[in-house]
Structure 1
Amino acid sequence: MGSLTLSGRTALVTGAGRGIGRAIAIRLAGEGALVTVHYGRNTKAADEVVTAIRAAGGSAFALRAELGEPGDVEALWDGYDRQVVEHTDDTGLDILVNNAGINVRCAIGDTSPETFDEMFAVNVRAPFFVAQRALERMRDGGRIVNVSSGAARMAFPEITAYSMTKGAIDTFSRTLAQALGPRGITVNSVSPGIVDTDINAAWLRGDEEVRQAAAEVSALGRIGRPEDVADVVAFLTSDAARWVTGQVIDASGGSRL
């Protein structure tokens, strides 16, 4: 049976300063990985994640690069190459988690071309090219996990463009898994449902009736926690998931079954 232990492995988690990304970074570090805590703007939040990981005996460092902007991928990997050698012997990579994303809640009639392009730049283009450049560094037998969304299979008209970006991510995972199979690299999507994070705070935390309705979407009757998703990602990045690739793993608590 495979182990979840990630000792000796190097991971990069995008959007790891808050929410699901934060939980993933802490979980992977807890299994022994050296974790690159990528963030876009909030230095304080990323530093807090690194501090929490180190306080628990793990290894991590923060890396800033604003995805969706010109030169974003180059800035990310240049920073990675420069910083990772301060913590390990080389610039190799074992685990990439494409978690960073944005969601602007707007129905199709209210979606501007600018908003549409911004979501695709951050949610689709950035993961594609981050992964492309990661492959130069990734060791055979590595792991790529793309954080998708239950919105890719469930109809939410108020987030049409966002849902489209996550559908693209699922296709990306499947086709990249086929391409990288000969190297023993697995690629999967993890599909959360409604999770209590900052990105959902505006509509989820203000009204108890709204919160109850959100909880009832799940068959398990509650809103998801970041750790619920992080545990699934930890499995997929481990040896225990060596025979799982090209899949969309639902981590939504059975939402809208």
Structure 2
Amino acid sequence: MAVNTKIALVTGGSRGLGKNMAIAIAKKGIDVIITYNSKKEEADLVVKEIESLGQKAAALQLNVAESKNFDTFFEGISSTLKNTFKTDKFDFLINNAGIGIHKPFVETTEEEFDQLTNIQFKGPFFLTQKALRIMNDGGGIVNISTGLARFSFPGYAAYGSMKGAMEILTKYQAKELGARKIRANIVAPGAIETDFSGGVVRDNEQMNQQIASVTALGRVGLPDDIGGVVAFLCSEEASWINAQRIEVSGGMML
């Protein structure tokens, strides 16, 4: 008897942590839909890599800052599910897409604040709300936070605050969606070497060394440190993990 393959939707899956998550999820035997904002070529390469692992994959364009377009986006998802995956629902939503703005509290503009709100909180809030219409019962939501919601580094007041809001939202999602057996958890990476926020952790040697010095395991994080944790939360082994904040930081700022 054929086993119904589960499907995960990963926002911002064309590069960085999202790409790593998407590939790690595929390695668990789960089909994957990724979204990209502008990097279609990169997204197509991720799709090919997932297909090379023996899983089905697709990529759709999405700007999570523009919630007015979410209905149209999910029309595209429904069409993709039908045509590529031969089904009408998916199982896991990973709210990964995001940007970072590194600005002191006193210099953060209202425009920057609104941009972060739309991408980091309002976007995932309403994207998840609309996704629930075509999510299977018994599936899961994985939100993404940051170590900066637990400890503070100057320059991340707005960003850290939005992620703090996502952490509270995750608990409410877990409680209110429990009747549908949909789990909600949030993964909080520490500082990771990617092109995020202009590659500040990856490319700034002084910052890299500073972070390593306050991390118990003595180094900065890499994308490979994160993707597998998100993939685990989409597995049967994690079926009793719910409403949890899981920090993946190597023991930063203990």
With the length of structure 1 as denominator, give the TM-score of the two structures. Answer: 0.94
- Counterpart of 1:229 in structure 2 is 226
* Rounded Cα–Cα distance in structure 2 between residues aligned with 1:23 and 1:70: 25
Structure 2 residue aligned with 1:110, among 107, 111, 119? 107
Structure 1 residue runs without a partner (length 5+): 1-5
Going from structure 1 to structure 2, the CA distance change for 1:70 and 1:185 (only over 3 Å counts) comes to closer
Q: Does 1:85 align with 2:82?
A: yes
Q: Does 1:143 align with 2:140?
A: yes
2:28·2:235 contact (CA, 8 Å) conserved in 1?
Answer: no
**How far off is 1:70 after superposition?**
4.9
1:195·1:225 contact (CA, 8 Å) conserved in 2?
Answer: yes
Q: Does 1:96 align with 2:96?
A: no
* Rounded Cα–Cα distance in structure 1 between residues aligned with 2:26 and 2:199: 30
**How far off is 1:57 after superposition?**
2.2
- Counterpart of 1:238 in structure 2 is 235
Q: Does 1:62 align with 2:54?
A: no
Structure 2 residue aligned with 1:195, among 192, 196, 212? 192
Q: May I ask how many residue pairs the two structures share in their alignment?
A: 252
With the length of structure 2 as denominator, give the TM-score of the two structures. Answer: 0.95
1:65·1:75 contact (CA, 8 Å) conserved in 2?
Answer: no
- The residue type paired with residue 12 of structure 2 is G
RMSD: 1.5
**How far off is 1:104 after superposition?**
0.7
Q: Percent identity among equivalent residues?
A: 38
* Rounded Cα–Cα distance in structure 1 between residues aligned with 2:246 and 2:102: 24
**How far off is 1:237 after superposition?**
1.1
**The 10-residue stretch of structure 1 (200-209 or 119-128) with the greater mean CA deviation from structure 2:** 200-209
- The residue type paired with residue 247 of structure 1 is Q
SS at match of 1:124: helix
* Rounded Cα–Cα distance in structure 2 between residues aligned with 1:205 and 1:98: 23
SS at match of 1:228: helix
Deviation above 6 Å: which 4+ runs of structure 1? none
**How far off is 1:157 after superposition?**
2.5
Structure 2 residue runs without a partner (length 5+): none
* Rounded Cα–Cα distance in structure 1 between residues aligned with 2:19 and 2:207: 25
- Counterpart of 1:250 in structure 2 is 247
